[in-house]
Structure 1
């Protein structure tokens, strides 16, 4: 196999061998702790522009299948693994991870000490990285990498360009697409919602003209402060329509209410992150993927109440507005991959829409 190198912004070089595309690629190096679910990770739009390190030692053993996509087009810039499985064995397998990455122009590097790499990221934080051929000049590639700016238009790149409808006979939900995972659509359609998916930059006036029973703010990549138009839209619709935010949507709702967000050292990515519900005192395992978090010290005087926290580092995992019908969670209740312990929050969203409809004397056909 062709030798291929991973170069980090601090000058560290990891030597490995290539699979997938032969493209030279740059991005932010991050790690995911999930034991399974690599297909969902690769196709999660929230990873736009990132080179993903899988900490589980063997990746590709069950191949790629038609059911586990989270979006049609994967957006990661590279995949780093300890060992790549060339011969997958699973009854759902339809192609190898190698052929899938080749078809989508995504380079992979295997033979990397992913434990050492992960420890470096945990110690020094996420940093820029590049995947290059072993024949290329590493010093020149490092200089180019250091002079490369990370993108700030990730949401624009992953959001739909035009509105579309997912039919249903229940509640009418406007879903603002910041880089939505299909799992969110699945949970809403499972509850028979009619979903109108709109671009990230849809205005409050355009959304309210659709007469929604509720507004869904989805996950997505990047810094929430890079989407100021969404913050302004949320400020205008808050109090008029029930709102439910997930991941980036959670951060945008918090910003709209006056709280602040900050970049984490290395983020949360994986399918086993424990979260504590402060009302019930119950702990749930959750799927997470985010680089930014809401600063808890800034929640005061925003109208938002802290509802859930991360067990490991006490970061904000959930908020609820004390006056308006609006709440959000930092984790992914739709899982994909990961535990489905928290998909009850979609039912909470439906109850919120039921309550609003009852006040208005509207009958919902469910």
Structure 2
């Protein structure tokens, strides 16, 4: 009996201890004081166009004002997706405003056939529809970010069968997947160079390729290639897009998955001259660690970014299906309220079984609005 009481006591102490550790990380009195980051002398793309340079300066200003809030694909991918012609713009319906940051991904461009049917290129139709969505987001006042979940040239499987092994090395110069990689870049370039607003100006993009490289869920992740191979892939991507395909509207964002130390964050870092902005992805996996993980990771990245005179962001976050009704104010806001991040972005809404922003009638809707009402959180109308 005494032994049982002792075990219970030790368990209780450990629970309170872990809670106190998290509470120690969260300082209710902390004030958001972003450092004065300055415009770099050089960007990753030496021939970066003026629109992208202007975006960087705009981000510098916005960072001092607050945290721009965004969502992946909030336009036409609502909770009824992918039912044709029945798409809801959940974010706008709930908030009456557009996100300050809107995310897109280039994954599907790799799956479009080149064939014409009958006299129309299916790839061109896809690129034009993709372009229209980005132009719409841009015209609505949102800043555009694009990631790239490149389809594995070795297999369409999602790993676990050895198909991820050595893909990156085979994409580098002399590898048997080199032509596939170059063709993928050519497709991406066609789309990126197609991004022009109604005034005929190029639309600048925060480009986030090869992200979460410290995880093991993509073929460019840890264990499937060497650090040197990853860095070469990153450098090749910039050089080929800018030099061979004249893509000059991209600010390059380096964004690992959550890390435990500065050394892990920088393990695959290609160098200051090849990166324009830093980021990190931290999701809530309902294990009780989100707040502490987010606070630690944001501090790690903020220290590195300040030292390097760079902006940084919480590039992906969210709680799948928002199963905690007060998650917005009690978890996400507490994690970011005093951080110097430029922006944060939740993932997309696909359907009622997979979403990251509440749709009309969802029980977290009011808490979401309360979160957005904080003067620190900026939406599209706040950044115009």
- TM-score (ref. length: structure 2): 0.26
Calculate the TM-score normalised by the size of structure 1.
0.26
Looking at secondary structure, tell me which structure has more helix per residue.
2
**Where is the strand percentage greater, Structure 1 or Structure 2?**
1
